[in-house]
Amino acid sequence: MKKLILMACVAIGLQTHAQYFDHDYGSTTIDEPQRGMNTVAMGEGFVISGLGTNTAGTATGSIVARSNAAGMNSGAPYFTNGYRVRTVAGTPMNSRDARILEQGPNSFGLSGACVIPATGVDYAYHLQLNPNGPVLNAHLYFSQGYSFYRITSVASSTTANQQYMAGSAIRNFTGETQIVVMKISFNGNIAWASIYDMVPGAISNEVAYDLAEDAATGELIVVGQTTLGAGTSDAFLLRLNPATGAVIGANTYGTAGSNETFTGIELSNDAANNNGYIISGYTDNTSAADVDGWLVRIDNTLATLWANTYDYNASAVNNYFYDVKERLNTSGNYEYYAGGTTSTGATGTVDIEVDKTAVNGASVGQFTYGTTVGESLVSIDVNTLTTVGAVNGISMYGYRSTGLLGSSDLTIYKAYFNGITSCDYSTNTITEATGPGFLSNPSPNLVAHLIKDTATVNTSAGLDKTKCYSTTVTGGSNARMAQGKQAQLAMELDVLTTGEAGSYQVQIENALAGKAEIRVNDLMGRVVYSKTMELQEGSNNIPVELGANTGAGIYILNTTVSGKTYSNKLVVVK
């Protein structure tokens, strides 16, 4: 029996037997997700983290689930573990947050905030985990005069073996909430750790929700929300020196009479639009009395390229974007996936929401995922053309309010790039409008530093369960999806397996009527297969039958349409 492996060569994404599923992780009690991400460095798959009560009765611990590409975590190195953080003296603490980060091929980092229940003393914590789940290092962090409120984000650093944590702390003297940003080594040692006041001299409340280091500009960009002491909230962008934590500058975005929040930031690789950033959030500055998802695209000079709001299902319901990712699609164009939650989804309850846009912000599609019990999203991830094929598509990390395991569970949905998955999804109508943009330039100050302490950890085992799973779904496609009246009509092409040895399908979208010429060559240049087929305008599926007796080796599949050739490397293994 032979197996086909498709490897990207020129214009085509990499394909294998992909998995599309809905899977729960947690315990028989309450579990609440905080963050998830695709894993690559330690083998393709997924990792999700959150809060769990399975570690000590009603006490709150942290929970992490690492799965393979099919969402399964039975058998090493995959696991579902609960962690209960304690002081070095053994005093148990309750966790408030649990944010996971893949630190490379040797460890995960788990970060959050925690409190000693008996005294109310707050800390931040960081655990370095072995790839199989055991704890390698555990540290606590605190600052005199402050109580930790949340750790809301973690991110990789361009400095080897270092990462960032961000969130907020309450200043005990004034009661105001201020920004926390820390740069630490993977094992928890502090490079720098600082607290920032967005409006010095005034009582204001801020929280950092995400951050990203830009090697091209030499800046660390932190985004979040500030009240600015004015009664309404604005989104902020804080620029820091990544080596020292010193303040470089800050911008706010919004309007004087509305409430805005930035929740996620992604570095852009779109050199044609001066790189920069795509930022997600939400705003109530809409034509209806509701909250809409919000995307702001700025270049590397911080000039705003566009700022749009997106209304779920063209209706007056609240919807929020919590994360955003950029993807280079199979046509060589950039596009964005904003992940969030709608308060009234297709099932009539809270649902996970994903909005897809073109590089200019034009709406492409909107999808929701969920059941009648209610599902919410905390983060979203996608692959790139260089990522291992089994995680092709959209990965949605969130929770199910009545889970398969307990009263709420950590949940992972995996879908094709056109939104289709194995179960519980729908396609909806998205309405975009011009949204709030740049507002002002505040002058934040660095006001305090943090100190490191040592922690201990108790570990316990968790559970997982599959809701639905399929290797292929009818109608699912990882090619670029057409954009209706706003379409960029560039043709795109993908290659799929049929499950039969030597049998494949060339899938062409947005084609013009004409001919397609297909040739398969071995590495000596000899033609082992060829055909010519008339294309109809729009979608086409062209069967390619090499035959079950095709010899093991590497072959090149060339498809020529309108004078342009798309190439795929086919590796047939006996």
Rounded to whole angstroms, how far apart are CA atoms 371 and 50?
21
Q: What is the average pLDDT across 526-533? A: 86
Q: What is the average pLDDT across 270-277? A: 94
Q: What are the backbone dihedrals phi and psi of residue 314, each rounded to the nearest 5 degrees, phi first? A: 50, 40
pLDDT recorded at residue 7: 36
Question: What is the CATH architecture assignment of 484-573?
Answer: Sandwich (2.60)
Query: By mean pLDDT, which of 147-151, 215-219, 393-397, 523-527 is the weakest?
Result: 523-527
Rounded to whole angstroms, how far apart are CA atoms 102 and 43?
11
pLDDT recorded at residue 191: 97
Tokens of 252: 């706010």
Rounded to whole angstroms, how far apart are CA atoms 539 and 532?
17
pLDDT recorded at residue 80: 93
Percentage of the chain exceeding pLDDT 90: 53
Query: By mean pLDDT, which of 163-172, 204-213, 399-408, 516-525 is the weakest?
Result: 516-525
Greater pLDDT, 68 or 137? 137
Contact indicator for 350, 367 with CB cutoff of 8 Å: no
| For residue 442, cis peptide bond before it (omega within 30 degrees of 0) | no
Query: By mean pLDDT, which of 1-5, 37-41, 338-342, 549-553 is the weakest?
Result: 1-5
Tokens of 71: 């969402």
pLDDT recorded at residue 499: 57
Band the pLDDT of 391: cuts 50, 70, 90: low
Band the pLDDT of 574: cuts 50, 70, 90: low
pLDDT of 74 higher than 90: no
pLDDT of 287 higher than 80: no
Rounded to whole angstroms, how far apart are CA atoms 558 and 546?
14
Q: What is the average pLDDT across 310-325? A: 89
Rounded to whole angstroms, how far apart are CA atoms 195 and 181?
7
Q: What is the average pLDDT across 506-515? A: 77
Rounded to whole angstroms, how far apart are CA atoms 422 and 403?
18
pLDDT recorded at residue 313: 75
Contact indicator for 294, 312 with CB cutoff of 8 Å: no
**Domain map (residue ranges) of the chain:** 484-573
389: three-class secondary structure by DSSP: helix
Greater pLDDT, 152 or 552? 152
Rounded to whole angstroms, how far apart are CA atoms 392 and 401?
27
Question: What CA–CA distances, in Å, run from 495 to 380, 417, 514?
Answer: 25, 15, 19
pLDDT recorded at residue 132: 93
Q: What is the mean pLDDT of the chain?
A: 86
Tokens 């201990």 belong to 456
Rounded to whole angstroms, how far apart are CA atoms 10 and 491?
14
Band the pLDDT of 559: cuts 50, 70, 90: confident
pTM assigned to the model: 0.81
Tokens of 26: 């947690």
Q: 139 CB contacts (<8 Å, ≥6 apart)?
A: 125, 126, 188, 189, 452, 453, 454, 455
Q: What is the average pLDDT across 481-500? A: 54
CA nearest neighbour of 241 among 304, 200, 299, 181:
181
pLDDT recorded at residue 480: 57
pLDDT of 98 higher than 80: yes
Looking at mean pLDDT, say which of 66-75, 304-313, 483-492, 508-517 comes out highest.
304-313
Band the pLDDT of 44: cuts 50, 70, 90: confident
CA nearest neighbour of 176 among 144, 141, 211, 149:
149
pLDDT of 165 higher than 80: yes
Q: What is the average pLDDT across 201-219? A: 93
Q: What is the average pLDDT across 315-337? A: 89
pLDDT recorded at residue 250: 96
Percentage of the chain exceeding pLDDT 70: 89
Q: Would you give the distance in Å from CA 75 to the centre of its chain?
A: 26
The model's pLDDT over 450-477, given as tens digits with 9 standing for 90+, comes to: 999 999 999 999 888 998 888 778 777 7
Provide the 8-state DSSP code for 551. P
